[in-house]
Structure 1
C-alpha cells in the first residue's frame, strides 16, 4: 500500500499538470481537477459526458480561503458550516478567481469546505480549490464506494488515489443551500 504522503504527492503532480484525479471526499468518490484551470475543467466535463453549463462544485480545505473565491460571504455562511452535522455545499454569489466555466451565468459557485482528512491535506498542499463531481458518467447513479465506480471511468482519469478505496460511504451527496448576498437562503438539495 502506498503511503498517504506519496498518494498526495502523486495527486498533486497530476493536478499541477492540469490532469484529472479520482479521489475520496467527505461524501462520495469524486472526479476532480484544478478549479482555476479552464482546460482541466473542460476535460472533467468531457469525461463525464456532462452538458456544458451544468454546475460543478468546488472544494476548499478551510473556510479562511473562501474570500479568495467569493466577493462577499454572508455571516450566516459561517454559522451554517458550524452547526451542520453533514457535508454542506453553499452556493455563493460573486464567484471570482475560478475557471470561468465553473461560474454560473448569475455569478454563483457552489463551494464545500471539506472535513475529510485526505481532501483537507491534498487541498492544503495544492493551495488552490479542487473541482468535485461524482465519480460516474452523467445520468448514472453516484457510487457509494470505490468498488461501485465504472472500470472504464477509472481507466480514463490521470491518477486514482489509493487512500480510502476500501472504505464504504452511504453514497450521499452533500446538502446544498443557496445564499444570497444579504443572507437569505434557499434549500437546493437536502
Structure 2
C-alpha cells in the first residue's frame, strides 16, 4: 500500500472515487441533461484539466496496484488559482446554468479555504475497502504534510447526513465550526470542520 501524488494515468480509477465523495452535489451542479455524464467529465478533468478535479491537486491510496482512495488538498492560493479553469470547463460542458449552480454551492454550503489552513476534499474510498482505515491514513498523511508546510489547521466540509464520515472526522479531532444550512431540498446541510494542528 502507498499514498502517493496522483498521476494523470490514475484517472479511470480516481474519477469514480471523486464522484463518490459527493454524488448528490455533483448530480445537482453537473446536470446530465445539459452535458456529458459526470463520470466522463471527472475522468477527463482528472487526467488533463487544470480544474480543482485535476490529478495535480490529488493524492491517491494505492493497494496492490489499484487506486482505492483519493484525497485533494488546497490552500487559499491554490484554490483560487483553479477558479478560471473551473469556470471554463463547466461552461464548456454544462453552460451558464452549471456555473451559477456551482458558484451558489460554494458560496452557500462549501467555503473557500482560509488563511493558514489546508483544506481537504474529494475524500473517498472504494466501497470494498471501506472500514479498513484508508480514509484515516490519508487524512493523517495530509496532516503531516500540512504541519511540514506550516499550516495551522486542516479543514473540510461534510454533508450532515454523511454520518460515517462525520463520525470518523470527529474521532480524528475535527471540530464543527459552522453549520451551513441548505438552500434547497436536494442538497443536504453541510458542516465546516477544522482540526487544530497545534492542539496536540
Report the TM-score, using the length of structure 2 for normalisation. Answer: 0.29
Report the TM-score, using the length of structure 1 for normalisation. Answer: 0.30
RCO comparison, higher one (Cα < 8 Å, 6+): 1
Higher helix fraction: Structure 1 or Structure 2? 2
